[in-house]
Structure formats: structure tokens, C-alpha cells
Structure 1
Amino acid sequence: MIHPHAIVDPRAELDPSVTVGPFTTIGAGVKIAAGTVIGSHVVIKGPSEIGRNNRIYQFASVGEDTPDLKYQGEPTRLIMGDNNVVREGVTIHRGTIQDRSETVIGSDNLLMAYVHIGHDCVVGNHTILVNNASISGHVVVDDWAILSGYALVHQFVQIGAHAFVGPGSFLYHDVPAFVTATGSPAQPRTINREGMKRRGFSSEQIAQINRAYKILYRRGLTAEQALVELQGLGDDPAVGLFHASVARSRRGIIR
């Protein structure tokens, strides 16, 4: 399962079912679980933990040191879950001790060609990052969010669940859950109605999120005032997710 032209450090731990292509280098402190397939010319450095049934394509760089100038070689790590697809040329950096000391990627994500995930990022589950999307250090991307091609995300920005970021957008501020954002700097446009339909949200839930969006963005309220108004929409989980994504913001939400 390991090509004779691959280089695997003896201190790496690979399940016997892992496939490693030619001219790939896997360093010390790397752990890879069952069923993962690694293409040719991939570099994986540790400490990194990679889960089951991932597919990592050629020329990806996974678990490399961060270029953050504060980083001085401290032991940090990358954690990746299961069933992720990491396409050609993707770069993923480990964390720094100034933050979490780890970069975390969940499960069932699609990272398309030349995506970059910076140090100390947290990427949830079922996300899609399209070609050349780049997230800087300390960014949070929640479950089911989509970043279109060439989207750029500033440090410490948080992108809520089911949000959609349009192509070529530049995010300086947080995107609430379910919101579609486009432009440079990115601005809110509408809710991600189509995404909600695809994921099985009911018509009433979509209508409730639309009401929540209008409270936040169409009535001239501050975020704090909108949070109070949102409580009047009841206890629907989708509205709760929207509310929480606004309440947690420290950089401020897109306007």
C-alpha cells in the first residue's frame, strides 16, 4: 500500500490499509487512520492526526509549519477528521501556541484545488472551499458553509453555519449563519435559501430565517438591538443558530 518511492518516517503511524503514492513524504508524528488514500508528491508533516477514508491529492501540503512570524518551532498540531477530500495543491498549516496550538478540520469537507487553511483555523463538517479560497489564521468556518473561488478571509473572522460566500469576496467581518455574502469588502445580500432547501429545512424555517435576516439587516437596528428582537421569533433551532452566530461576534458582523 506504500509505494517504494514514497518516504515515510519510521516514527509515523499509518494504518495498514492506508495507500501512499510515489514521491510522497510523510514525517514524524503523523498518524493516519484506516482507508485514507494519499496521492503522489504529497507532503504531510507532524504532529498531525488524519482520520479515516480521507483522499489527499497530488502536491498537497498538509501539517506544515505556519509562516506566522511569532512561531518559533513550538510543538503544535493539525487534526483532521474523516471522509475529507483534499484536492491538488491545497496547503494546511498547523497551529501556534499564541492561540489553540492546533488547526482543526472536521469531516466530510471538500477542499478544492489550491485552497489555503491557515494556522489555528477551525473548519467544521460538510463545508466546501472552492478553488483558491484562502482563510487566514484563527478563522472559524462552521458546518455546511461554502466559500466560493478566490474568497479571502481575514484573521479571526467567523463564518456561520450554512453561510454562502460569493466568488472573489473579501471578508473583514463575521458572516452570520445562513447569510449570503458577496463583494470586496463582503456585504450581506440575502439568506442562503437554496442551500437551506437542499439540506432539508422546512418552508417555515426558511421563512423564519428570512424574518431574522430582515430584523438584523433591514430595520436599522444595531446588532445588540437585533439580538433582543430575534428572541421574539421563538425557539426554532435554525433561528437559535442564527442568533448565536451574531451574539458570538467579536470583530463585528458584515454590514
Structure 2
Amino acid sequence: MAETMIHPTALVEDGAQLGAGVSVGPFCHIQSGAVIGDGSQLMSHVVVTGATRLGANAQVFPHAVLGCEPQNGKHTGGPTTLEIGTNCTIREGVTMHSGSDTSRGRTIVGDHCTFLAYAHVAHDCVVEDYVTFANNVMVGGHCEIGHRAILGGGSAVHQFTRIGHHAFVGGLAAVAGDVIPFGMVIGVHAHLGGLNIIGMKRSGMDRKEIHAVRHASRMLFDRTKPVQDRAKDVKLAYAESKAVADLIDFVTTDSKRAFCTPLIKSAKDTREDNGGEQ
């Protein structure tokens, strides 16, 4: 069994639980109640507060702060948690807050996630597996980030927003609406600029399913009917597609936010799309 290593300058409080093979570097502070999974490496100046559970084989870089109280005025100070899965990479200056006692009470991060420098996960968020946050990504409270989503550098996500699985958020985008699964959004405020085809291919998604989602998304947002009405038509048209079913489940689920939709094209843009024909 691998030996646990604690640097002499680190402070590990009584009541903290460290698994086998954990490495705690210089000037780290692990508070009572925190749980650090087997094989995790905390490099230096890392703070892990009580009621934070960090899964096995995490790499946590200098000055990351995990599990502090939520930045939520409704929080009354009750016990809440931050739960981080296995095999996560958490780079310099990343912050993740615990849940709030007037909401979910838990902030949840899945397995195999990557958080680049100075990214932030706010209170009561749910981040699923294989998600990537680039540098300086800011995600507000109560957000839900689906598996294999990628958030580009400097992007900001409004509280209560949902980012569907396999979605891509462009760098510096301000996202104030829900992003459909497989969607790619860009701009301030972000609009739906297509689908994350590259991410879909990288995940091993079947070519037939990719084509189905491409056609279904065009049908869904064609503006001849409200999205909810078009969702029924899309569901019937692509009844055999699991990926399209995910898309329809997402848009028909109650949400506190509107959807990110494509920009309305001008007549000039439409003519150009049609090869100059009117």
C-alpha cells in the first residue's frame, strides 16, 4: 500500500481523512471533516475545507480552494457539502464552493473532469463526468453541466442555467440561456451557433446519430412554431434516435431559463445561404 506523505509545513487537522498514497505539499490546509481519496496529490498552498470529499487520484495544483461556504445571501450557515469525483485535475487558483442550506445543499463534480487555472464552480452546481472548464470560466449557482461539455476560456454562465451534454461554450461567451445537448454557443450574450460536431465525434458518437441531431436541431429552431411545439414534431420524426431523444428531453424539461437560440438572419444572410437566390 502506498505511503501517505504530508509536508512538515502543511496543516492537516484532526478529523480529516486521508487515503492511501495521498501527497500533501507545502503550506496546504486540510480541515477537519475533509476526505481525500487514495492517490490524490495536493501540490502546495491548497485549502480543502470540512465536509469536502475529494475522490481518488485527483491532482490539485497550488492555491486551489475547495469547499468554502457558498456566496449565497440566502445561506444561513448550516452544514453543506462539496463532492468531487475521481481522476479530476484541478489547476492553479480554482475555487469550488459547497452547497447552500436553502437549496440542494450539495455541490457535485463528477469523474475525470478538468478545471484549468482560476475556474470557478459555484454553490449547488452539478457538473457531470468528463467536463472541461478552460481558464477563468465562471459558473453561477445552481447550474447543471452535462457530461463531456467544454466551456471555453473566460466564459460566464448565469445561475440556474443548464448546459447539455456534449455542448461547447465558446471563449468569453456570456451564457444566460440553457444550451441544448450537442449545442455550440458563442457571443455576448451567447447564441446557438451550431453543434459541437468535433466533441460528438471525439466521444465516439455514431455518424448516423450525428446527422440525426444536426437535422433535428434545425427543425427544432426553424421559428415556424414555438420550440415546445416543434419538439413534438421532432420527436415523431426521429423516434429511433437516442441522441435526439436526449435533445427533446432537455428542451421539454422545466427550467428557470430560456434557451440559447440561433440568431435571426437578415434577408441578406438568407440570400447568401441560398447562393444569392431569393
Match of 2:201 among 190, 197, 200: 197
Give the drift of 1:16. 3.1
Are 1:101 and 2:105 matched, yes or no? yes
CA distance in 2, matches of 1:229, 1:17: 54
Structure 1 stretches of 4+ moved >3 Å:
none
Which 10-residue stretch deviates more, 21-30 or 229-238? 229-238
Q: Which residue of 2 aligns with 1:252?
A: 258
Q: Which residue of 2 aligns with 1:175?
A: 179
TM-score normalized with structure 1 length: 0.98
1:114-153 alignment runs, 5 A limit: 114-153=118-157
Match of 1:241 among 240, 246, 269: 246
Tell me which structure has the larger Cα radius of gyration: 2
CA distance in 1, matches of 2:259, 2:60: 34
CA distance in 2, matches of 1:71, 1:203: 46
CA distance in 2, matches of 1:230, 1:9: 56
Deviation per CA, 1:148-195: give whole Å up to 9, x if none.
001000110000000000011011110010000001111001111111
Q: What is the letter of the counterpart of residue 87 of structure 2?
A: N
Deviation per CA, 1:4-57: give whole Å up to 9, x if none.
110001110111311100100000110111011111001110111111101110
Match of 1:9 among 13, 18, 21: 13
CA distance in 1, matches of 2:240, 2:67: 40
Q: What is the letter of the counterpart of residue 259 of structure 2?
A: I
Give the drift of 1:220. 3.0
Segments of 5+ residues of structure 1 without an aligned counterpart are: none
CA distance in 2, matches of 1:17, 1:60: 20
Segments of 5+ residues of structure 2 without an aligned counterpart are: 262-278
TM-score normalized with structure 2 length: 0.90
Alignment check: 8 A CA contact 1:45 1:64 kept:
yes
Q: What is the letter of the counterpart of residue 150 of structure 2?
A: I
CA distance in 2, matches of 1:69, 1:199: 39
Give the drift of 1:235. 2.8
Between the two proteins, the alignment pairs up a number of residues equal to 255
Q: Which residue of 2 aligns with 1:154?
A: 158
Identity %: 35
Alignment check: 8 A CA contact 2:77 2:101 kept:
no
Deviation per CA, 1:183-229: give whole Å up to 9, x if none.
11110011111111111112211110001110112243212112101
